[in-house]
Amino acid sequence: MRPFIFLRVFRINQCLMLVSLLALLLGGAYYPYAVAARERGAVQAMSWSVAGKVIMVDPGHGGIDPGAVSRTGVLEKDINLQIAQRLAAMFRQAGASAVLTRDGDYDLADREHLPGLTNRDELQARLGLADKHHADIFISIHLNSYPSADCEGAQVFYHPRSVESFRLAALVQQELIAVLGDQYRWAKGADFFVLRDVKRPAIVVEAGFLSHPREGILLTEPAYQNKVAWCVYAGVVHFFAGQPAPKSPY
């Protein structure tokens, strides 16, 4: 019996090894292995471009304002903050000064205690922080939501008045397509309040649809959040390195 048991144990170990190897390979689909080594290397070699820059990272919503809410109760404000924190860490590692508009679950206008203040006042407080810190660029992180569950994909928005905001948006969108796969979406002009202040290039990154059954779950996963953050980081690195706006593949 003993050799037989040994054989079975050996087989189980072999299976476990195979599972581990598969997990490693599948896990490798995510950051920092998510991105082809050549692309990762190219971005890291160019990371000097962000050193010394002041980058405002703005996790949308917070406090009394949850943003979009998924069918399972996931709140947009929480995912926005998680992605923003991952992104800020990447910038800091590259020698940039990344400043978060909020680093917890609160409302910048304290509307819980000051109900007279509007959504616009709250957004103005975020822009005020960008001024206070003399930010070079402003990046707002949000999630999309739509009544139809079919909508998916990340999309970057910019104000049509700002050529540099468009260049930044297109460079980030290009990375989102390269890393997350075809998104069938391209950088889009929008008259969002936080984009109107064109003192500095500003974008809103809608990292995906919380309302989509698959994407909504992916967005809660740390590995996927790192992939999204990496795309924004890589786009910004290309932006400060002076790369021209790419053309839409769609």
* Interface contacts to Zn ion, rule CB under 5 A: 60, 67, 142
**Least Å distance between CB 61 and Zn ion?**
6
**Least Å distance between CB 103 and Zn ion?**
18
Position closest to Zn ion via CB: 142
Question: Rounded to an integer, what distance in angstroms lies between the CA atom of residue 196 and that of residue 202?
Answer: 9
**Least Å distance between CB 151 and Zn ion?**
15
Burial class (CB in 10 A: 0-12, 13-18, 19+), 21: exposed
Q: How far is CA 137 from CA 98, 201, 248, in A?
A: 10, 5, 22
Tokens 């924190």 belong to which residue?
Answer: 85
DSSP string covering 134-183: T-SEEEEEEEE--SSTT----EEEE-TT-HHHHHHHHHHHHHHHHHH---
CB-nearer residue toward Zn ion: 49 or 225 = 225
CB-nearer residue toward Zn ion: 98 or 123 = 123
CB-nearer residue toward Zn ion: 60 or 153 = 60
**Least Å distance between CB 128 and Zn ion?**
19
Give kind and range of the element (H or E) at residue 127: helix 119-132
CB-nearer residue toward Zn ion: 60 or 62 = 60
**Least Å distance between CB 150 and Zn ion?**
20
* Pairing of β 202-209 and β 155-158: antiparallel
Q: Which amino acid appears at position 187 of this protein?
A: A
CB-nearer residue toward Zn ion: 67 or 208 = 67
